[in-house]
Chains A and B, each alone.
Chain A
Amino acid sequence: MTTGATQEPTSTASLDKASPPGEPPQTSHADAASNGRPKLVLGKLFDLHTVSLLGVLAVLCLIGGITQGDKFLTTSNLQLVLVQASVIGVVTVGMTFVMIGGGIDLSVGAIVALASVWCTTVATQDFGIGGIIFCALAVGLGCGLVNGVLISYGPMVPFVATLAMMVSARGLALEITGGSTQMVTVDSVLDLGRRDSYIFGIPPLVIMFAVITVLGWVLLNRTTFGRRTVAIGGNPEAARLAGIAVKRQRLMLYALSGLCCGIAAFMLVVLSGSGQNTNGNLYELNAIAAAIIGGTLLTGGRGTIIGSVLGVMVFTTITNLFVLNNLESAFQQIATGAIIVAAVLLQRRSASQQP
Chain B
Amino acid sequence: MNGMGRRGLLFGGAAAGAGVLLAGCTSNESNDGDGDGDTGANNQAANNDEPGPAVTIGFAGPQADHGWLNAINEEARRRADEYEDVTLEITEGSNDTAQQIGQIESLVNSGVDVLVVLPADGRSLTQAALSAMNAGIPVINLDRVFDTPQAYRCWIGGDNYGMGLNAGHYIGERLKDVDGAKVVELSGPDNLELTVQRTQGFDDALANYPNIEKVARQAADFTVESGQSVMSGLLQAQPEFHAIWNHDDDQGVGAERAIDQAGRDEFFMVGGAGSLHAMEQIQADNGVLKATVLYPPTMAASAIDLARAVGQAKGVGGLAEFEIPSSITLYSAVVTKDNVEQYLPTGFN
Contacts and interface: CB of A to CB of B under 8 A. Distances in A.
B158 to A, nearest CB: 18
A139 B27 CA distance: 15
Contacts of B215: 326
A193 B260 CA distance: 9
Q: Which of A127, A134, A323 counts the most chain B CB atoms within 10 A?
A: A323
Interface string A88-128: 00000000000000000000000000000011011110110
Interface string B242-270: 00000000100110110011110000000
Interface of B: 18-19, 21-22, 24-31, 35-36, 63-67, 69-70, 190, 215-219, 221-230, 232-234, 236-237, 239, 250, 253-254, 256-257, 260-263, 275, 277, 348-349
A328 B219 contact: yes
B190 A278 contact: no
Interface stretch (A44-52, A266-274, A290-298): A266-274
Contacts of A174: 63, 65
Interface stretch (A176-184, A222-230, A301-309): A176-184
Interface in A31-77: 68, 71, 76-77
A219 to B, nearest CB: 20
Contacts of B19: 142
Interface string A319-336: 110011110111000000
Q: Which of A122, A126, A268, A272 counts the most chain B CB atoms within 10 A?
A: A272
A177 B65 CA distance: 9
A121 B26 contact: yes
Contacts of B348: 180
Contact of B190 (A273, A279, A330): A330
A278 B28 contact: no
Contacts of A126: 31
Contacts of B66: 179-180, 277-278
A194 B261 contact: yes
Nearest to A271: B228
A138 B22 contact: yes
Contact of A71 (B22, B230, B236): B236
B233 A324 contact: yes
A122 B30 CA distance: 6
Contacts of A353: none
B26 A323 contact: no
Contacts of A182: 28
Nearest to A277: B65
The A contact surface, by secondary structure, is helix
Contact of B22 (A118, A193, A279): A118
Nearest to B348: A180
Contacts of B65: 174, 179, 277-278
Given A176-B28, A324-B237, 11 more contacts: A83-B232, A122-B35, A123-B24, A138-B18, A181-B250, A183-B277, A193-B257, A272-B225, A278-B66, A278-B222, A330-B190
Interface string A233-251: 0000000000000000000
B229 A84 contact: yes
A276 B250 contact: yes
B253 A272 contact: yes
B11 to A, nearest CB: 11
Contacts of A121: 25-28
A276 B66 CA distance: 9
Nearest to A268: B225
A133 to B, nearest CB: 12
Contact of A281 (B22, B225, B232, B277): B225
A178 B64 contact: yes
A41 B334 CA distance: 62
A76 B261 CA distance: 11
Nearest to A283: B225
A18 to B, nearest CB: 35
Contacts of B67: 179-181
Contacts of A323: 218, 230, 233-234, 236-237
A277 B64 CA distance: 11
Nearest to B262: A195
Contact of A329 (B18, B219, B239, B263): B219
A201 interface: no
